[in-house]
Amino acid sequence: MIKPYYQEDRITIYNGDSIDIMKQMPDESVNTIITSPPYWSLRDYGVESQIGLEGTLDKYLEKMLAVTIEVKRVLRKDGVFFLNWGDCYDSKCMVLQNFRGVIRMVDEQGWILRNVIIWYKPNHMPSSVKDRFTNAYEPVFLLVKNKNYWFDLDAVRAPYKPSTMERAKYPVIKFGRNTDNPLGKFGKGIKKGNEGKIVEPNPLGKNPGDVWAISTHPFPDAHFATFPLELVEPMIKAGCPQWVCKEGGKPRERIVKKNYVPTRPGNNTGNGKSGTDLDPNKSLHQRDISKYRMRIEYYTVGWTDCGCNAGWESGIVLDPFMGSGTTLVAAKRLKRKAIGIEINKKYCDIAIKRLKEERSLF
């Protein structure tokens, strides 16, 4: 393996071509890959062999597919790949370099596309164009190698709106004319067994969805807005395990328990006083209360253990187009191992400076 350009504790930086460096890495050796490659015909980073300067789109895509096949080889079977890949215009028409490339990754390399996350930039660059709308987002593609992969959604859940929490206080009931279900003329569309249940929202929050509003941040050393930490951190939390077995590399998984808690059956849920003939839930009160008027609670009770007693270490994040080192800084903050590859020494030095500043802060 080529000698690292820089190394500290959990962080390793290589200066060189991403394909050449990855070819020297073992198969299935990293848990998560997060990167934003150079887009075709957009920016010259001052390196002759830089990806993105190819004369044609086809040549660029061939080079990118050579990168992604190496990415797939070094990624663990249960790993995930977050690919922030934007686009550009060729005269008046969008090139669709990102979607063309991802479709070929799926069709030719066997990747599984799980999400297209919309990174909306509230502070997006203004545009002087008058015949189309200003570009205000970039896609982030979530790709995996296998149907079964490690993903910790609970680590990145978002707070619920107050209105959602207020609605959750009431049982699952819809009013209608369907007389065939257990609620008689008052009930409609209630799944059998859920009549009268109070569904408690997950205490860790809601699924954040696939639209992320995150502003870019100016970075004077790089002379352009960089990959923001706020974009990378949830990717690492969800996609890179905090603990993996030192011997077999198996990640620990969150153990979540679901508990049904009975609530007082006399809550007022209709137009009349609860328990009276006017109460639409009267038929429920006359049944086995243990089945109805239940609140569902979810909570983490622990983490899985592989049982080999070899001890634990953090998962590994790889960024094959490291740039100014945002992925590595985020990994350092979250106590994960990280490998960065960058062809431009100038950006390697910028990343090292940021990592050292991060060390002094913490």
Q: What is the CATH number of the domain that holds 344?
A: 3.40.50.150
Domain count, the chain: 2
Distance of alpha carbon 79 from alpha carbon 67, whole angstroms: 17
Residues 246 and 287 in one domain: no
Contact between residue 79 and residue 120 where contact means Cβ atoms under 8 Å apart: no
Distance of alpha carbon 43 from alpha carbon 233, whole angstroms: 25
Report if residue 132 sits inside a domain. yes
CA-CA-CA-CA dihedral for 223, 227, 230, 234, to nearest 10:
-170
pLDDT in tens, the chain (362 residues): 789 999 998 999 999 999 999 999 999 999 999 999 999 977 666 676 789 889 999 999 999 999 999 999 999 999 999 999 999 998 889 999 999 999 999 999 999 999 999 999 999 888 888 999 999 999 999 999 999 999 999 999 998 888 777 776 666 554 444 444 444 444 444 455 555 555 667 778 899 999 999 998 877 676 555 789 999 999 999 999 999 988 888 888 888 776 666 655 444 444 444 445 555 554 444 444 444 455 556 667 788 888 888 888 999 999 999 999 999 999 999 999 999 999 999 999 999 999 999 876 54
Q: What is the pLDDT of residue 135?
A: 93
Residues 287 and 314 in one domain: no
The DSSP element (H or E) to which 105 belongs, if any, is helix 97-109
Residues 25 and 80 in one domain: yes
The DSSP element (H or E) to which 333 belongs, if any, is helix 326-333
Range of the domain at 57: 6-156+207-250+306-361
Report if residue 79 sits inside a domain. yes
Residues 69 and 192 in one domain: no
Residues 134 and 242 in one domain: yes
pLDDT in tens, 139-174: 999 999 999 999 999 999 998 888 777 776 666 554
Last residue of a domain, one of 303, 319, 343: 303
Q: Please compute, for residue 6, the number of CA atoms within 13 A of its CA located in the half-sphere on the CB side.
A: 23
pTM to 2 decimal places: 0.81
Contact between residue 38 and residue 321 where contact means Cβ atoms under 8 Å apart: yes
Quote the crossing angle between the two packed helices 97-109 and 57-74, to the nearest 10°: 50
Distance of alpha carbon 249 from alpha carbon 302, whole angstroms: 19
Q: What is the Cα 341 distance to its own chain's centre?
A: 22
Distance of alpha carbon 187 from alpha carbon 281, whole angstroms: 9
Distance of alpha carbon 117 from alpha carbon 327, whole angstroms: 17
Q: From the CB of residue 29, how many other CB atoms can be counted at a distance below 10 Å?
A: 16
Contact between residue 335 and residue 237 where contact means Cβ atoms under 8 Å apart: no
Name the token pair of 155.
């680590």
Q: From the CB of residue 14, how many other CB atoms can be counted at a distance below 10 Å?
A: 26
Q: Supply φ then ψ for residue 213, to 5 degrees.
A: -95, 105
Q: Are strands 11-15 and 337-342 parallel, antiparallel or unpaired?
A: parallel
Rg (CA), the chain: 26
Residues 291 and 242 in one domain: no
Report if residue 1 sits inside a domain. no
Distance of alpha carbon 197 from alpha carbon 209, whole angstroms: 25
Contact between residue 316 and residue 339 where contact means Cβ atoms under 8 Å apart: yes
